[in-house]
Chains A and B, each alone.
Chain A
Amino acid sequence: MTAVLDTEGLTKRYGRRSALSDCTLSIPSGHVVGLVGPNGAGKTTLLHLAVGLLQPTSGTIEVLGSRPAESPAQLGRVGFVAQETPTYEALSVADHLNFGAWLNPSFDAEMAGRRIDELGLDLRQKAGHLSGGQRAQLALTLAIAKRPELLILDEPVAGLDPLARRAFLQYLMESVAEHELSVILSSHLVADLERVCDYLVVLVASHVQVVGEVEGLLASHYRLSGPRRDPSSLPSSQEVIESSHTERQSTMLVRIESPILDPAWTVEEVSLEDLVLAYMGRASDAGRVQRRSGRAFR
């Protein structure tokens, strides 16, 4: 199975600021991949690098086996919807369908037209007068009708009301089932992605924190609670991601390679949200330590 996205030491810098640092990923096809991280973590940078809107500062990136935006053929294999779904405000829905057809030889105009009908959009309506949810649906229709192998969506449901969000994800999943699409979608909220993603990439402060299939991640992370213990006293096969202590009790979120045998612990499963939050917390702690130690040297 080829990778849809393959990066090696991918870095993007603007002057002294690093938007993405040393990112090495190999995302297999056939998944709906969630790219999670707080605002400013580098999600949009990574996605823009993947569609050729940005050039890396160093490192390599390959999408579906080729360099991003290398040729019209490669451009045709990847569908993209940018943040805030840009559309041509002065052009109508019908104009946008024509846009898709004229600029993409593989465009399925009939499917797009059918979908617009199902959505109940007026073909003559100017895109600038559509609601946020309708614009998102239009942009998604255009991207899917292009018949890509990979669909990349940057924060597609941010700013949509719950009904619009549900409708968007329903259409997305239906298309994934029907066309066997691979999808990479980003969000700063785990809740948006939990339903639909079966593969996860957590990005915090320009670094990748954790990568893997959701099922595997949930099976390898647990919450341990018990009498107060020093995190470093745990065996090396148990990596502490997050820990908190009271006078008498310790609670830790650990990543394990083998089953937990110590009877002193109460073992609980964690939700995906807890898992992501734990990694985000660890990353921001590391950042704080780095900044503090940096200051000590002045």
Chain B
Amino acid sequence: MNRGDVIEFHLDTRSGVSPYLQVVHQVRHALRLGLLLEGDQLPTVKEVVAHLAINPNTVLKAYKELEHAGLVAARPGIGTFVTKTLSDSSLAAHGPLRQELQRWLGKARRAGLDDESIEALFRDCFRSALDEGVA
């Protein structure tokens, strides 16, 4: 169909997250999971808005932010291309980390915590770790 076969965006209108941020997050997510590799072309602004029916300025803003973060580069007249992935160093660590997390989740459930408590506990730790500058 179009070159956007590499990645297709979707919009969650009820998430409260602004559309341009959703696009940024989805690109970063794809980069992290290795779905987008260096040299891949992002869908054109025209392709994205033709699919999502959102304002082109939204997509431009998202791509600009990604460019600012050094993840993509725009080549005028040709398109926007990925320059750096997020996954190279950390992807290897994903496997063992995932296993540890699954073990911890099992422990939490056996201790009797329900879904909400698990999430609250995790968020609390995550935030305080942030404050301590660890994360």
The interface residues of chain A lying within 8 Å CB-to-CB of B18 are 218
Of the listed stretches A133-141, A192-200, A234-242, name the one at the interface; the rest are far from the partner chain.
A192-200
Of the listed stretches A20-28, A36-44, A93-101, A172-180, name the one at the interface; the rest are far from the partner chain.
A172-180
When C-beta atoms are compared, the residue in chain A nearest to B44 turns out to be A177
Taking a contact as CB atoms under 8 Å apart, the answer to whether A173 and B53 are in contact is yes
Tell me which of B50, B51, B53 contacts A195 (CB under 8 A).
Answer: B53
The interface residues of chain B lying within 8 Å CB-to-CB of A195 are 11, 13, 19, 52-55
Q: Which of A4-38 contact B (CB under 8 A)?
A: 30-32
The interface residues of chain A lying within 8 Å CB-to-CB of B26 are none
Taking a contact as CB atoms under 8 Å apart, the answer to whether A173 and B57 are in contact is no
- The answer for the CA separation of A136 and B19 in the assembled complex, in Å, is 26
Confirm or deny: A170 has a beta carbon within 8 angstroms of a beta carbon on chain B: yes
Taking a contact as CB atoms under 8 Å apart, the answer to whether B45 and A196 are in contact is no
Q: What secondary structure prevails in chain B residues at the interface with A? A: helix
- The answer for the CA separation of A178 and B54 in the assembled complex, in Å, is 14
Taking a contact as CB atoms under 8 Å apart, the answer to whether B58 and A170 are in contact is no
The interface residues of chain A lying within 8 Å CB-to-CB of B53 are 166, 169-170, 172-173, 195-196
Tell me which of B46, B50, B55 contacts A196 (CB under 8 A).
Answer: B55
Counting chain A residues whose Cβ lies within 8 A of the other chain, the interface size class is 20 to 34
Taking a contact as CB atoms under 8 Å apart, the answer to whether B58 and A177 are in contact is no
Contacts A195-B13, A195-B19 given; indicate if A174 touches B49 (C-beta within 8 A). Answer: yes
Interface centre among B11, B51, B53 (most CB of A within 10 A): B53
Q: Which of B35-72 contact A (CB under 8 A)?
A: 45-46, 49-59
Chain A 142-185 interface mask (CB, 8 Å, partner B; 1/0) = 00000000000000000000000010011111101110000000
- The answer for the CA separation of A269 and B16 in the assembled complex, in Å, is 9
Taking a contact as CB atoms under 8 Å apart, the answer to whether A178 and B46 are in contact is yes
The interface residues of chain A lying within 8 Å CB-to-CB of B16 are 269, 271
Taking a contact as CB atoms under 8 Å apart, the answer to whether B55 and A197 are in contact is yes
Chain B 1-34 interface mask (CB, 8 Å, partner A; 1/0) = 0000000000101001011000000000000000
The interface residues of chain A lying within 8 Å CB-to-CB of B11 are 195
Taking a contact as CB atoms under 8 Å apart, the answer to whether A173 and B19 are in contact is no
Q: Which of A68-107 contact B (CB under 8 A)?
A: none
- The answer for the CA separation of A166 and B55 in the assembled complex, in Å, is 13
Taking a contact as CB atoms under 8 Å apart, the answer to whether B45 and A177 are in contact is yes
Return 15 A-B CB contacts under 8 Å, by A number: A31-B57, A32-B55, A166-B53, A169-B53, A170-B49, A171-B50, A173-B49, A176-B55, A177-B45, A177-B46, A177-B50, A195-B13, A195-B53, A195-B55, A196-B55
Give chain A's interface residues, CB within 8 Å of chain B: 30-32, 166, 169-174, 176-178, 194-198, 218, 269, 271
9 closest residue pairs by CB, A with B: A169-B53, A174-B50, A173-B49, A177-B56, A177-B46, A170-B53, A198-B55, A177-B45, A177-B49
Given A30-B57, A174-B46, A197-B55; 14 other pairs, CB 8 A cutoff: A31-B57, A32-B55, A169-B53, A173-B56, A176-B55, A176-B56, A178-B46, A195-B19, A195-B54, A196-B53, A198-B55, A198-B57, A198-B58, A218-B18
